[in-house]
Structure 1
Amino acid sequence: MKVGLAALVAGALLLTGCTSSDDQPNGSPSPEPSPSTSTSAKPAPGASTPVEDEVYPDVGDPGVDALRYHLDVAWDPDTRTMTGHETVRVRATGDADHLQLDLEGELTVDQVRVDGEDADFEHQGKDLVISADVQEDGHYALAIDYHGSPQPVPAPTKRSDFNTLGWTTTPSGEVWTMQEPFGAYSWYAVNDQPSDKALYSFTISVPAPWVGVANGQLLSRRTAGGATVTRWKLDEPAASYLVTIAIGDLVETKDASASVPMTYWTPRGRPGLVRKLREAPAGLAWLEKRLGPFPFKTLGFLVVDSESGMETQTMITLGDTRYATSPDVLVHEMAHQWYGDQVTPVDWRDVWMNEGMAMFIQGAWTAERQGASIESVMDEWAPGEAETRAEYGPPANYDPEAFGGGNVYYGPALMWDELRQRLGDDEFWRLVRAWPQAHDDGNADYDDITSWWSDQTGEDLSGFFDDWLLGETTPKRG
């Protein structure tokens, strides 16, 4: 997730499959989805079960299940304007007379089509309401043309390292996005809630020699008419907060030393950043010994002009700071590819599932690197945990205006270490490895993960989890 507190991990924006290919001519955007209102016997690729978020119910709509987005974006850094053409295939989760997506009110919607026909719409605030008579489980192809100057949206946090989310434009006109828990709607129309995972593809046009970077595999890169055009494809479902885009004078460096193709995207003229990122393959090898094979086909690291950062699926975005590009942060953000990306919380109440495990894994890596015990690392973290719990609330029942506080990192990390000592290393790490694989490309909530650990261990762990995650005070450590 987005990090950067002095005592926490700094962010790393992780793009799914950031492999690149040589320039390919005649690159073209993915075709617009063909109209269809038919249903199928088995779930369509990208199918989800959207819910209304318990923490941030005003973002996202459970009436829509987005299946696949294609985002065709052109950016003019001189005027700070975007021209967007978006196609999205959706499934209606019930009978209704409209479909609703999130889209920042600063952007102007020029036209909407549903299954190829012009559709009426209203765009007030962040709500884009499209008139359409839809049937439960019907599939519909939406095409949305829009333009404007995207603006970041306020962040529900009390942290000092960030206060806005989504599309961010630098003074020079470069762009990056970080959007946890929401903010994707600052630059495209989206069901901006983590339960609605979908497939993505991108076409990005920017003035050469700048380049547009996004999640997934880089299918082509070409220069035409003074513009660099890149095409990307993310072929495993991702939550909207894990989708990213960056635009700037970025240089690509490939690294073949990891188990998967690895790519670094760094500002031109900064070779020292590449040297720091080359620590990543060793960290990934350590993670794969404990968590299993990397769950995606490629991995990328993107360094941007930010004080913070976050994991994004298969492309990790890092702030341009010493801490954000440290080995500790690289390991933490890569761990999110299993805990957060491969399996994603149903809603934001359970961000602790991502952050607590990634923080514990970071601690285990630090201990091994220093030749110390995991317990000794947890001893260093423990004194501040009670303070953050008191200030921001229990990890699974936190203050909605204090998203990303230390309470969702350290309390759950201590909890996982207590469970490790209770079960023994072999059994504990076996289950840490098994959980993401058992929920591949899916979502899970509090009841899912706590009952799963009870079932797998043969112990009723419900009280243990409740004490650590819902208790007002920190449980006594063993």
Structure 2
Amino acid sequence: MSGLSALAVAGALTACISLPQDDEAPPLPPDAGSPGPTGPAGPDSVGDAYVPGNGNGGYDVQHYTLRLDITPGAPNELDGTAEITASATQRLPSFNLDLTGLNVSDVRVNGAAARHRREDEELVINPATPVEKGARFTVTVRYAGTPRPVEDPILGRYGWIRTPDGVFVACQPSGAHTWFPSNDHPSDKATFDIQLTVPAGLTAISNGEPSTPVTGSEGGGAGVPTARPGVPPGQVPAQPSPVIGPVAAKSGRVTSTWKVAQPMATYLATVNVGRFGVRTGKTPGGITNITAVDPSVIGTPLDAFYAKNSEITDEWARRFGPYPFGSTGGLVDNARVNFALETQTRPVYGAFGASEGIVAHELAHQWFGDSVSVTRWQDIWLNEGFATYAEWMWEEKAGGRSVQSQFDSLYSDSGNRELWDVPTGNPGRAQMFGRTVYDRGAMTLHTLRKRVGDDTFFKILQTWTKERRHSNATTAQFIETAERVSGKQLDDLFQSWLYERGRPRR
């Protein structure tokens, strides 16, 4: 992670603007009119056992336009319109979107009112006429309510999290459909436009780049004094701040628009509303840096956080290949969560702050997880093992433990059953954010580095991020890349380190 990934990294264990009505196509109640087209529906799941029921088939989303009016603390915190542009991969008399816990008032397909109904966490849509295979179509959904965080007995609490002055959103692995209708699986990435309207006095920050410069909220200064250096995440208390009611006590509302020009997995989308100090500029390497900190969080001064985001982004671009997005940065909010998440372009961190190692981890995800995304969650080591290894490299560069010493320390722990008895390449849902994915994943990469040599190792990583840029990938594809670039047969290495139980030979 990030998302639930920082869970492991931190050691603690993420007035409504709406489309006008179409006068020629008045909305139909879900049960009104004819039953609509019949025939095979699009699959209601992508069949990923790690996230049962998530995602849908029959279409490929190209773009999301989200218009969201957010009032933290109101009876309905969210009033939204989602316009989803997709291409049909089969004929669709009906199809599904993932959506849970919100009230849908209107659904249209290509401007025509469509019948719809709710089935558990699915929004089932019957367009007035079937969408033909190969056709590009648009679905518009109007909805409202207060999103609730996911409370998963295995994966914990994540999604839409209330803060003392707003909202913090971190959705790994599948919390996006708690706040917008979507094809909520990383195998279907899309570009986004996100328009946010919030009460005056608050700042809204999302992914990508804003259409106008973002400024801090009233009272959001340029940072706060830091606590003692090196205090572990989770041990830095946030300053107390009263939980607000509806923030509309200040007259007026403000709107900002954020554009995500490169494809993004739904779980990486974020919306953060509150009072923030904000700093924008460019890294020495020329990458736009947008960094924000809630001034009530002790331990992460804005200027230092901004500078560290710049430094680490440029270093990873040197090692991993060109930065894949239009901006970098990060956001620290007074959210009572014990994880960080690599939300695309701008990782988010809870009230424990953003220590240097976690920042290195989350920014490495921009290449490994965000630009190159998993096709299925079984291969999550491609995200977390790579980001953990980057974290080790950053610690070595900063004068701390060497990568080799971190490998040796873990390898010497022969009795660590979570590390050695859980296969990294297929850990199972219960261990998808376990230590084997992070630590043994990183150890796999170090073993590869020792086998092929430094120059070839970094050539493998740069080839991987170049060839798979803005797409999805599998472990088998990474193995093929490693063997092709190195000219070596590496099946034995990956088999023993990723799929066999027990501690591999060094």
User: Fold match, TM over 0.5?
Assistant: yes
Name the CA shift for 1:57/1:372 in 2 (closer, same or farther; >3 Å): closer
Name the residue aligned to 2:405: 376
Q: 2:107 touches 2:115 (CA, 8 Å); kept in 1?
A: yes
Q: Secondary structure at the match of 2:211?
A: strand
Equivalent-residue separation in structure 2 for 1:263 and 1:348 (angstroms): 29
Matched, 1:98 2:94: yes
Q: Secondary structure at the match of 2:398?
A: helix
Equivalent-residue separation in structure 1 for 2:120 and 2:477 (angstroms): 35
Q: Secondary structure at the match of 2:212?
A: strand
Q: 1:59 touches 1:193 (CA, 8 Å); kept in 2?
A: yes
- Shift in Å at residue 453 of structure 1? 1.3
Q: 1:210 touches 1:248 (CA, 8 Å); kept in 2?
A: yes
Of the structure 1 ranges 461-470 and 264-273, higher mean CA displacement relative to structure 2 is found in 264-273
1:30-429 matches, cutoff 5 A? 51-81=46-76, 82-104=78-100, 106-132=101-127, 133-155=130-152, 157=154, 163-170=156-163, 172=164, 174-220=166-212, 226-259=252-285, 260-268=287-295, 272-277=300-305, 278-304=307-333, 305=335, 306-322=337-353, 325-370=354-399, 373-383=402-412, 386-389=416-419, 393-429=422-458
- Shift in Å at residue 455 of structure 1? 1.9
Q: Secondary structure at the match of 2:383?
A: helix
Q: 1:8 touches 1:406 (CA, 8 Å); kept in 2?
A: no
Q: Secondary structure at the match of 1:474?
A: coil
- Shift in Å at residue 293 of structure 1? 2.1
Name the residue aligned to 1:37: none
Q: 1:363 touches 1:378 (CA, 8 Å); kept in 2?
A: no
Equivalent-residue separation in structure 2 for 1:86 and 1:284 (angstroms): 32
Name the residue aligned to 2:41: none
- Shift in Å at residue 134 of structure 1? 2.0
Matched, 1:439 2:468: yes
Equivalent-residue separation in structure 2 for 1:115 and 1:211 (angstroms): 33
Name the CA shift for 1:10/1:184 in 2 (closer, same or farther; >3 Å): farther
Q: 2:6 touches 2:340 (CA, 8 Å); kept in 1?
A: no
Equivalent-residue separation in structure 2 for 1:369 and 1:352 (angstroms): 25
What are the superposed Cα offsets for residues 8-55 of structure 1, whole Å, 9 maximum, x if unpaired? 2479x8xxxxxxxxxxxxxx99999xxxxxxxxxxxxxxxxx953242
Name the CA shift for 1:212/1:256 in 2 (closer, same or farther; >3 Å): same
User: Structure 1 stretches of 5 or more lacking a match?
Assistant: 14-27, 33-49
- Shift in Å at residue 373 of structure 1? 3.6
Name the CA shift for 1:108/1:248 in 2 (closer, same or farther; >3 Å): same
Letter in 1 for 2:342: E
Name the CA shift for 1:78/1:332 in 2 (closer, same or farther; >3 Å): closer
Q: Secondary structure at the match of 1:370?
A: coil
What are the superposed Cα offsets for residues 189-223 of structure 1, whole Å, 9 maximum, x if unpaired? 01000110001011111111112111111113699
Letter in 2 for 1:389: L
Letter in 1 for 2:9: L
Equivalent-residue separation in structure 2 for 1:426 and 1:187 (angstroms): 44
Name the residue aligned to 1:21: none
- Of all paired residues, the percent bearing the same amino acid is 28
Letter in 1 for 2:195: T
Structure with the larger strand share = 1
Tell me which of the two structures has the higher relative contact order, counting C-alpha pairs closer than 8 angstroms and 6 or more residues apart: 1
Q: Secondary structure at the match of 1:169?
A: strand
Q: Secondary structure at the match of 2:469?
A: coil
What are the superposed Cα offsets for residues 70-125 of structure 1, whole Å, 9 maximum, x if unpaired? 11111122324211111011112212311211001x20000000000000001122
Equivalent-residue separation in structure 2 for 1:130 and 1:118 (angstroms): 10
Q: Secondary structure at the match of 1:53?
A: coil
- Shift in Å at residue 153 of structure 1? 1.7
Q: 1:258 touches 1:284 (CA, 8 Å); kept in 2?
A: no
- Shift in Å at residue 154 of structure 1? 2.7
Q: Secondary structure at the match of 1:315?
A: coil
Q: 2:46 touches 2:53 (CA, 8 Å); kept in 1?
A: no
Q: Secondary structure at the match of 2:362?
A: helix
What are the superposed Cα offsets for residues 278-325 of structure 1, whole Å, 9 maximum, x if unpaired? 222222232122112211121121112132111011011012214xx1
Letter in 2 for 1:138: A
Name the residue aligned to 1:8: 9
- Shift in Å at residue 68 of structure 1? 0.4
Q: 2:371 touches 2:469 (CA, 8 Å); kept in 1?
A: yes
Name the CA shift for 1:59/1:3 in 2 (closer, same or farther; >3 Å): closer
Equivalent-residue separation in structure 1 for 2:7 and 2:125 (angstroms): 44
Equivalent-residue separation in structure 2 for 1:218 and 1:400 (angstroms): 36
Name the CA shift for 1:371/1:211 in 2 (closer, same or farther; >3 Å): closer
> Which is greater in Rg?
2
Count of residue pairs brought into register by the alignment: 436
Q: 1:89 touches 1:139 (CA, 8 Å); kept in 2?
A: yes
Letter in 2 for 1:53: D
Of the structure 1 ranges 224-233 and 138-147, higher mean CA displacement relative to structure 2 is found in 224-233
- Shift in Å at residue 225 of structure 1? 6.2
Equivalent-residue separation in structure 1 for 2:124 and 2:412 (angstroms): 48
